[in-house]
Amino acid sequence: MKIQQLVETYLNIKFKRGVQPAPWGVFQYSWDEDDCAELSFVGEPEESFTSWMYDLQPRDAHYVASPDWQPVLAGRFHQVDVYDELILYYLLFTINSTLTIRPTNAYNAMNDRMKSHSFFQMSHCSAASRMSEEQKHQLRDFFFFFYLYAHPVNEDTLYACSFHEQRLVHTTTNISLEHYFAAFHDHYSEHCDQYRDDLIINPDDIQASKHLTLELLRIIEGKSSPLHMPSEEGLEAVVQMINNVDLMLQLYEDNTSALFEIMRDFLAENRSTLYRDHCFTTLLQNYVCYILHFKFDEIHTLVDYFGSTPTWCGVIINKMFTDTIFIQRILRLKQIDINAYPDVIAFFGEEARSIYLS
Q: Per residue in 222-257, pLDDT tens?
A: 999 999 999 999 999 999 999 999 999 999 999 999
Q: Is residue 226 part of a domain?
A: no
Axis-axis angle for helices 274-287, 236-243 (nearest 10): 50
Residues 351 and 325 placed together within one structural domain of the fold:
yes
Percentage helix, strand, coil for the chain under 3-state DSSP, each rounded to 5: 60, 5, 35
Based on the fold, state whether residues 204 and 241 are members of the same structural domain: no
Q: Read off the pLDDT of each residue in 72-87 and give the average, rounded to a whole number.
A: 97
Query: Which residue, 169, 192, 221, sits at the end of a domain?
Result: 221
Report yes or no on 227 lying in a domain.
no
Average pLDDT over residues 10-23: 93
Mean pLDDT over each residue of the chain, to the nearest integer:
96
Mean of pLDDT values over 266-274: 93
298: closest CA among 253, 263, 339? 253
217 is a domain residue: yes
Residues 65 and 211 in one domain: yes
Rounded to an integer, what distance in angstroms lies between the CA atom of residue 14 and that of residue 193?
A: 37
What mean pLDDT do residues 257-267 have?
98
Q: Are residues 143 and 59 in the same domain?
A: yes
30 in the same domain as 115 = yes
- What percentage of residues in the chain have a pLDDT greater than 90? 94
CA distances from 23 to 5, 20, 180 (A): 10, 10, 28
- What pLDDT, in 10s, does the model give residues 20-71? 898 999 999 999 888 899 999 999 999 999 999 999 999 999 898 889 999 9
Q: Tell whether 154 and 283 lie within a shared domain.
A: no
Q: What pLDDT score was predicted for residue 345?
A: 98
Residue 230 belongs to a domain: no
The residues pairing with 163 across neighbouring beta strands, listed in sequence order, are: 168
Residue type, 169: V
For residue 14, is it within any domain?
Answer: yes
Taking the C-alpha atoms of residue 358 and residue 290, their distance in angstroms, rounded to an integer, is 27
- On the question of pLDDT at 84 being above 60, the answer is yes
Local structure of 24: helix, strand or coil: strand
Residue 112 has pLDDT above 80, yes or no: yes
Residue 282, pLDDT score: 98
Q: How much is the pLDDT for 101?
A: 97
Q: Which of 162, 194, 221 is the last residue of a domain?
A: 221
45 and 187 assigned to the same domain: yes
Residues 40 and 96 in one domain: yes
Q: Could you tell me if 108 and 203 lie in one domain?
A: yes
The verdict on 303 and 178 lying in the same domain is: no
The answer for residues whose C-beta is within 8 angstroms of residue 263's C-beta and 6 or more apart is 280, 283, 284, 316
For residue 101, the SS3 value is strand
In a shared domain, residues 135 and 208: yes
State which residues form the domain around 295.
236-356
Contact, 158 vs 148, CB < 8 A? yes
**Closest to 57 measured CA to CA, from 44, 46, 71:** 71
Are residues 57 and 89 in contact, defined by beta-carbon separation less than 8 angstroms?
yes
Among 180, 198, 221, the domain boundary falls at: 221
How many separate domains does the chain show?
2
Tens-place pLDDT, residues 299-346? 999 999 999 999 999 999 999 999 999 999 999 999 999 999 999 999
Q: In which band, very low, low, confident or very high, does the pLDDT at 1 lie, cut at 50, 70 and 90?
A: low
Q: Is residue 313 part of a domain?
A: yes
Bridge partners, 175 (sequence order): 170
Report the C-alpha gap between 244 and 249 in whole angstroms: 9
Mean pLDDT over residues 171-180, rounded?
Answer: 98
Cβ 185 vs Cβ 207: under 8 Å:
yes
pLDDT above 90 for 2: no
pTM of the complete model = 0.96
Identify the pLDDT of residue 65.
Answer: 84
Same domain, yes or no: 152 and 257: no
Asked whether the predicted pLDDT for residue 195 surpasses 60, the reply is: yes
Residue 296, pLDDT above cutoff 80: yes
Pick the range with the lowest mean pLDDT from 64-68, 123-127, 154-158.
64-68
